[in-house]
Amino acid sequence: MADASAPSASPPRKSLMQTLEVDTRLLGMIGAFAIVCIVFNVMTDGRFLTPRNVFNLTIQTVSVAIMATGMVFVIVTRHIDLSVGSLLATASAMMAMMQTSILPGMGLDLGDPWIAPLAILAGLATGAAIGALQGYLVGYLAIPSFIVTLGGLLVWRNVGWYLTNGQTIGPLDENFQLLGGIGGTLGTTGSWILGLIAVVVACMAIWSARRSRIAHEFPVKPVWAEAAMMALSAVAILGFVAVLNAYQVPSRVLQRDFQARGETMPEGFTQGYGVPYSVLLLIAVAVVMTVVARRTRLGRYIFATGGNPDAAELSGINTRLLTVKVFAIMGMLAALAAVVASARLSFHSNDIGTLDELRVIAAAVIGGTALAGGMGTIYGAILGALIMQSLQSGMAMVGVDAPFQNIVVGAVLVLAVLVDILYRKRMGAR
Amino acid sequence: MVDRSGTPLVELRDIHIAFGGVKAVDGVSVDLFPGEVVGLLGHNGAGKSTLIKCLSGAYRQDSGDVYVKGEKVNIQTPRDARDYNIETIYQTLALADNLDAASNLFLGRELTTSLGFVDDSAMEAETRKIMGRLNPNFRKFASPVSALSGGQRQSVAIARAVYFEAKILIMDEPTAALGPQETQMVAELIQELKKDGLGIFLIDHDVHQVKRLCDRAAVMKNGELVGIVDVDDVSTDDLLGMIIAGKTPDHLAA
User: In the structure, what pLDDT confidence band is assigned to residue A20 with cuts at 50, 70 and 90?
Assistant: low
**pLDDT at site A153:** 96
pLDDT digits 0-9 by tens, A367-402: 989 888 889 999 999 999 999 999 999 999 998 898
User: In the structure, what pLDDT confidence band is assigned to residue A3 with cuts at 50, 70 and 90?
Assistant: very low
pLDDT digits 0-9 by tens, A324-375: 999 999 999 999 999 999 999 999 999 999 999 999 999 999 898 988 888 9
CA-closest candidate to residue A362, choices A414, A402, A404? A414
B-contacting residues in A 385-404 (Cβ below 8 Å): none
- DSSP-based three-state secondary structure for B47: coil
**Is the Cβ–Cβ distance between A274 and A245 less than 8 Å?**
yes
Q: Which of A257-261, A333-337, B29-33, B249-253 has the lowest mean pLDDT?
A: B249-253
Side chain identity at residue B165, one-letter code:
E
pLDDT, mean of residues A281-290? 95
User: CA triplet A417, A419, A422: central angle to 5 degrees?
Assistant: 110
**pLDDT at site B140:** 85
pLDDT, mean of residues A235-246? 89
**Is the Cβ–Cβ distance between A344 and A352 less than 8 Å?**
no
Is B94's CB within 8 Å of A428's CB? no
Is A310's CB within 8 Å of B92's CB? yes
What is the rounded CA–CA span in Å between residue B223 and residue B226? Answer: 9
DSSP string, B106-157: TTTS--B-TTS-B-HHHHHHHHHHHHHHH-TT---SSSBGGGS-HHHHHHHH
**pLDDT at site A7:** 41
**Is the Cβ–Cβ distance between A369 and A72 less than 8 Å?**
yes
Measured between CA atoms, how close is A371 to chain B, in angstroms?
13
CA-closest candidate to residue A92, choices A408, A373, A353, A407? A353
**pLDDT at site A66:** 97
Beta-bridge mates of residue B217: B39, B229
Asked if residue A306 has pLDDT above 70, the reply is yes
CA-closest candidate to residue A6, choices B206, A219, A15? A15
Q: List the single best residue of A78, A210, A295 to mutate versus B (max B Cβ within 10 A).
A: A295
- DSSP-based three-state secondary structure for B203: strand
User: In the structure, what pLDDT confidence band is assigned to residue B99 with cuts at 50, 70 and 90?
Assistant: very high
Higher pLDDT, A368 or A2: A368
Q: Which of A215-224, A228-237, A396-405 has the lowest mean pLDDT?
A: A215-224
CB atoms within 10 A of CB A430: 15
Q: List the single best residue of A78, A290, A300 to mutate versus B (max B Cβ within 10 A).
A: A300
Facing residue for B117 by CB, picked from A295, A429, A430: A295
Asked if residue A10 has pLDDT above 80, the reply is no
Contacts of B116 in chain A (CB under 8 A): 296
User: In the structure, what pLDDT confidence band is assigned to residue A162 with cuts at 50, 70 and 90?
Assistant: very high
Asked if residue B252 has pLDDT above 90, the reply is no
Q: Which of A124-138, A159-173, A176-190 has the lowest mean pLDDT?
A: A176-190
**Is the Cβ–Cβ distance between A210 and A226 less than 8 Å?**
yes
**pLDDT at site A83:** 96
**pLDDT at site A247:** 87
**pLDDT at site B1:** 61
The domains of chain A are located at 21-184+318-394
**pLDDT at site A298:** 96
Contacts of B108 in chain A (CB under 8 A): 301, 312, 315-317
- The CA distances from residue A274 to A46, A178, A184, A345, B153, in Å, are 21, 14, 10, 20, 52
Q: In percent, how much of chain A has pLDDT > 90?
A: 52
Asked if residue A15 has pLDDT above 70, the reply is no
Say if A23 is an interface residue toward chain B (CB within 8 Å). Answer: no
Side chain identity at residue A384, one-letter code:
G
Is B121's CB within 8 Å of A213's CB? yes
Beta strands at B63-68 and B10-19: parallel, antiparallel or unpaired: antiparallel
User: In the structure, what pLDDT confidence band is assigned to residue A86 with cuts at 50, 70 and 90?
Assistant: very high
**pLDDT at site B21:** 81
Measured between CA atoms, how close is A1 to chain B, in angstroms?
27
Contacts of B142 in chain A (CB under 8 A): none
pLDDT, mean of residues A137-147? 96
User: CA triplet A236, A239, A242: central angle to 5 degrees?
Assistant: 155
Beta-bridge mates of residue B225: B220
pLDDT, mean of residues A95-111? 87
Asked if residue B150 has pLDDT above 50, the reply is yes
Residue A305: closest CA among chain B residues belongs to which residue?
Answer: B96
**pLDDT at site B236:** 86
CB atoms within 10 A of CB A344: 20
Facing residue for B78 by CB, picked from A300, A314, A375: A314
DSSP string, A46-65: T-TTSHHHHHHHHHHHHHHH
Side chain identity at residue A9, one-letter code:
A
Is A307's CB within 8 Å of B99's CB? yes
DSSP string, A240-266: HHHHHHHSBPPHHHHHHHHHHTT--PP
Is B79's CB within 8 Å of A218's CB? no
> What is the interface size between A and B, counted as CB pairs within 8 Å?
87
What is the rounded CA–CA span in Å between residue A198 and residue A191? Answer: 10
Sequence-ordered list of residues with C-beta below 8 angstroms from that of A148, at least 6 positions apart, any chain: A134, A137, A138
Say if A210 is an interface residue toward chain B (CB within 8 Å). Answer: no
**pLDDT at site A269:** 78
Asked if residue A2 has pLDDT above 80, the reply is no
Domains by residue range for chain B, with CATH: 1-85+205-236+243-254 (3.40.50.300)
Q: What is the mean pLDDT of chain A?
A: 88
Contacts of B110 in chain A (CB under 8 A): 297, 300
User: In the structure, what pLDDT confidence band is assigned to residue A289 with cuts at 50, 70 and 90?
Assistant: very high
CB atoms within 10 A of CB B91: 15
Find the chain B residues whose C-beta atoms sit closer than 8 A to any C-beta of A.
Answer: 56, 58, 77-79, 82, 88, 90, 92-99, 103-104, 107-110, 112, 116-118, 121-122, 124-125, 144, 146-147
Residue B111: closest CA among chain A residues belongs to which residue?
Answer: A297
What is the pTM for the complete model shown?
0.88
Residue A215: closest CA among chain B residues belongs to which residue?
Answer: B121
Q: List the single best residue of B52, B87, B107 to mutate versus A (max A Cβ within 10 A).
A: B107
Higher pLDDT, A103 or A133: A133
Is B98's CB within 8 Å of A295's CB? no
Sequence-ordered list of residues with C-beta below 8 angstroms from that of A142, at least 6 positions apart, any chain: none
Q: In percent, how much of chain A has pLDDT > 70?
A: 94
CB atoms within 10 A of CB A166: 11
**pLDDT at site B143:** 86
CB atoms within 10 A of CB B187: 15
Is B103's CB within 8 Å of A300's CB? yes
Is B122's CB within 8 Å of A216's CB? yes
Asked if residue A49 has pLDDT above 60, the reply is yes
Residue B143: closest CA among chain A residues belongs to which residue?
Answer: A429
Say if A256 is an interface residue toward chain B (CB within 8 Å). Answer: no
CA-closest candidate to residue A112, choices A121, A124, A100? A100
**pLDDT at site A14:** 59
Higher pLDDT, B144 or A66: A66
Asked if residue A430 has pLDDT above 50, the reply is no
Side chain identity at residue A156, one-letter code:
W
Beta strands at B199-203 and B168-172: parallel, antiparallel or unpaired: parallel
Asked if residue A11 has pLDDT above 50, the reply is no
Is A308's CB within 8 Å of B95's CB? yes
What is the rounded CA–CA span in Å between residue A230 and residue A212? Answer: 17
Contacts of A295 in chain B (CB under 8 A): 117-118
Rank A229-238, A333-342, B73-82 by mean pLDDT and report only the highest: A333-342
Is A308's CB within 8 Å of B116's CB? no
ipTM (interface pTM): 0.86
pLDDT, mean of residues B56-76? 89
Say if A141 is an interface residue toward chain B (CB within 8 Å). Answer: no
pLDDT digits 0-9 by tens, B177-220: 777 887 888 888 888 888 888 899 999 888 888 888 899 999 99
Facing residue for B110 by CB, picked from A291, A300, A312: A300
Sequence-ordered list of residues with C-beta below 8 angstroms from that of B172, at least 6 positions apart, any chain: B49, B52, B88, B89, B90, B91, B203
What's B100's DSSP letter? B
What is the rounded CA–CA span in Å between residue B111 and residue A249? Answer: 51
Asked if residue A6 has pLDDT above 50, the reply is no
